[in-house]
């Protein structure tokens, strides 16, 4: 069981960029443009929001609070928000307007990654929820810049 948790908590996050790259290669030109416009705004906005949130809220990691050894090594720094979950969420949301089904599947995978990091004792649940909310807010901000992104959506 620990091997599965470690695998999802540490390594699965690197699969998401690969999936997004594959989808990008097969979508039509207008969807590629919509994807790029959305992602170029959403990703930096999400990371800027995460930076500010981490500056405003300090949440010590579970292994520090509970004085235990986590399943995976991590430095003793601020656990909020979860960087792995934020990274995965950004890639998952980047496809939302051009390939919704894949985006939803990647969002589910993002949640599994986040929960695995909670089980591995390197994050609290609020770190994971915070990261997902930050990505959703980043996506809403990016969407507000160009509402025509909905028109470029594939089913």
User: Which tens digits make up the pLDDT trace of 144-154?
Assistant: 887 765 555 54
Residue 1 binned pLDDT confidence (cut-offs 50, 70, 90): confident
> Considering only CA atoms, which of 120, 115, 63, 57 is closest in space to residue 88?
115
pTM (2 d.p.):
0.90
- Summarize pLDDT for 25-66 with one digit per residue, the tens: 999 999 999 999 999 999 999 999 999 999 999 999 999 988
User: 3-state SS string over 13-41?
Assistant: HHHHHHHHHHHHHHCCHHHHHHHHHHHHH
> Considering only CA atoms, which of 85, 77, 84 is closest in space to residue 59?
77
Q: Distance (Å, rounded) from C-alpha 21 to C-alpha 150?
A: 20
The CATH architecture annotation of domain 2-69+77-148 reads: Up-down Bundle (1.20)
Residue 71 binned pLDDT confidence (cut-offs 50, 70, 90): confident
What is the reported pLDDT for 43? 97
Looking at per-residue pLDDT, the higher value among 149 and 126 belongs to 126
């Amino acid at each position: 069981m620990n091997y599965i948790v470690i695998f999802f908590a540490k390594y699965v996050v690197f699969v998401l960029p690969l999936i997004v790259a594959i989808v990008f290669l097969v979508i039509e030109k207008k969807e590629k443009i919509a994807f790029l416009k959305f992602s170029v705004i959403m990703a930096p906005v999400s990371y800027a929001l995460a930076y500010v949130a981490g500056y405003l809220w300090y949440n010590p990691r579970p292994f520090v609070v509970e004085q235990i050894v986590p399943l995976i090594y991590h430095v003793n720094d601020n656990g909020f928000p979860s960087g792995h979950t934020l990274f995965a969420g950004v890639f998952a949301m980047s496809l939302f307007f051009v390939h919704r089904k894949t985006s939803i599947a990647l969002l589910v995978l993002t949640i599994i990654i986040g929960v695995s990091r909670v089980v591995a004792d390197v994050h609290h649940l609020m770190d994971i929820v915070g990261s997902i909310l930050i990505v959703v807010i980043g996506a809403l901000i990016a969407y507000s810049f160009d509402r025509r992104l909905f028109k470029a959506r594939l089913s």
